Structure 1
Amino acid sequence: MSNTKFDLKKITSARLFMPLVCLAAVLLVNVITTPGFFKVSINNGVLFGYVIDVINRASELVILAVGMTLVTAASGGQDISVGAIMAVAGAVCCQILTGGELSVTEHAVPLVVGMLVGLLAAAVCGAFNGFLVAKLGIQPMIATLILFTAGRGIAQLVTAGQITYVRTDSYKVLGGYFAKCPIPTPVFVAIFVVIVVTIILKKTALGLYIESVGINGNASRLVGLNSTLIKFLTYVICGVLAGVAGLVASSRIYSADCNNIGLNNEMDAILAVALGGNALGGGKFSLMGSVIGAYTIQALTTTLYAMNVKADQLPVYKAVVVVIIVVLQSPVFKKWLAGFKTKKAVSKAAAEGGAN
């Protein structure tokens, strides 16, 4: 009996327990409200269904959440410009591929060149944010507010205020399907990003350095860590990952729609980090927690759409659910719950003692 209690306590205290419970709760609601939610079918050689849609549409958010987790852990702040950086990467890539034309059916330069230039533009944006935060010491939310405000304007300047179309099958692959594979390509891109970043964090000391700088930057500096460089690198990585997400989003619609690509995705990415059980003040982090948080948010979004909630009302319902989930995961609530359990146990013991 004692072993069972110990195991249960160990499970419930695990970092990924609450994120998984939150995801399970959202999926349980789907079972009740949408009986066919878990039904998966194959039409025209590709997988269809609500679950597939959740996994597919969450791909960009998963990629953003990975970058946001690193930035949050290292700097104790969030990058609210990632949505705009997505638009910049998509705009630069499409503009390079079209050679400045409004719409093309073949690339002006090789596809890989356009994508690399788009990612380079995203990296420059990340480096700009990193310089402001790491070198100049500007608060992350304020520093990234610059590109949050101006980023889409920069993307509009790149495309001359037009929606640039790349109507080629090869460009559609990243946001669509590869050959006869029934699984959407963005799913593989998200998995690849998570695996690569996880390997880098596990096989190098970067993960430990990020946590150390996030917990106490001054102490880390005293023991020889370059806190400025580590923070800077996290913002560059976040920018590059936002660029990857932007290319996927652009490929889905085979165009650079600067007004809509990545719109409001920065808020969902921050929520994914919070739902993943990560402290928004920096320090220790869980990459998988953020990934689970991203899928939870997308599952919630898909659920609300399935319940015929209008798009303009969606943020209200999402905010209510997210507030509940975040409160359940907050240290204050956990402390209160632990105190309540202790008080209840003491009262029960006192009652039993009085009876004896």
Structure 2
Amino acid sequence: MNRTFTLMLMSLGLLYGSTSCSEKKKEKEEKVKFLVTSPLQKDTTITKEYVSQIHAYQHIELRALEKGYLQKIFVDEGQYVHEGQMMFQIMPLLYQAELKKAQAEAKFVNIEYQNTKKLADGNIVSPNELALSQAKLEKAKAEVSLAQTHLQFTAIKAPFNGIMDHFQARLGSLVDEGDLLTTLSDNSKMWVYYNVPEAEYLSYKSHAQSDSPLQVKLRMANNEVFDYPGVVQTIEADFNNETGNIAFRATFPNPKGLLRNGETGSVLMTVPLKNAVIIPQKATFEVLEKKFVYVVDGKNKVHQKEVTVAAEMPDLYIISSGLKADDKIMLEGIRKVKDGDKIHFNYQEPKSVIAHLKTYSE
């Protein structure tokens, strides 16, 4: 009786121990299961950012065309001026006197010409003498025209609508011919210059459509995006051999006058990528500033593999080398394994993985 009871207890103990070990083993297996996915391969676009310089559509220097004292200033620094508006007056007295002298000379020569013409009509003087008198009259008229031009140069007017910069000469200053007075900027539209690497230029040209110009955006110095998009209108002819870049020029409308000549910012340009290999950023880790992923082989072993990131998107990397579309990569638990470990995993489709990333959008 006692022996039978003892055997029953031993059997129950073995059964309990076997069940307990099985449950622990099951728990252990569940703990080491990792989430695995594959890269997503698809055509996409990325936004590239390029440091840029902002220039006014027209930006010129206004210089004195004649020597003299700066007699009047009709405008102020920073003022918006209209085409044809008076800006500066250089003392015109000398040029007024020269004009009067030239006009008097022309009047005298004209009288001589009229007298010579009457004599020539009466065959008293030769035709050559009449031609000489006429040439003297033409020369005198040219002197009048030149004097008028010099006088007009003393009145400096705005050649177009624009905003003035600060004065380089003050009222009463003696200015020489060619001295800088101020600068004038037409900010109605802006030219924004930025440099594009050769590989990105080739990608852009390969996908660009001639009938639809590329639109770009501008991030200003305060990190805000400018309200109005621009259009790439010009690409320079030559690459810079030292930097491997080529200059693009985008034109932006500036109806509110917010942008000014000399500002800086960043151009945001959308670049198309064909058959891009996309992976979540959290599937990567860094070693000595290089990026790696864990690739799962056919025997469920993980191997550390270096990848090259071509571009970065929110929560995603676009990989240019190191991965194929059918590779399996660890998505979670990459800090819990080492190269060569065999793992158990659950596989999740890449579209499903990426769709659940909080900042991703199609």
Per the TM superposition, whether the score is higher than 0.5 is no
User: As a proportion of its length, which structure holds more helix?
Assistant: 1
Q: Which range, TM-score by smaller chain? A: under 0.3
With normalisation by structure 2, the TM-score equals 0.22
Kindly name which structure, 1 or 2, has the bigger radius of gyration based on alpha carbons: 2
Higher normalized contact order (CA 8 Å, seq sep 6+, divided by chain length): 1
User: As a proportion of its length, which structure holds more strand?
Assistant: 2
With normalisation by structure 1, the TM-score equals 0.22
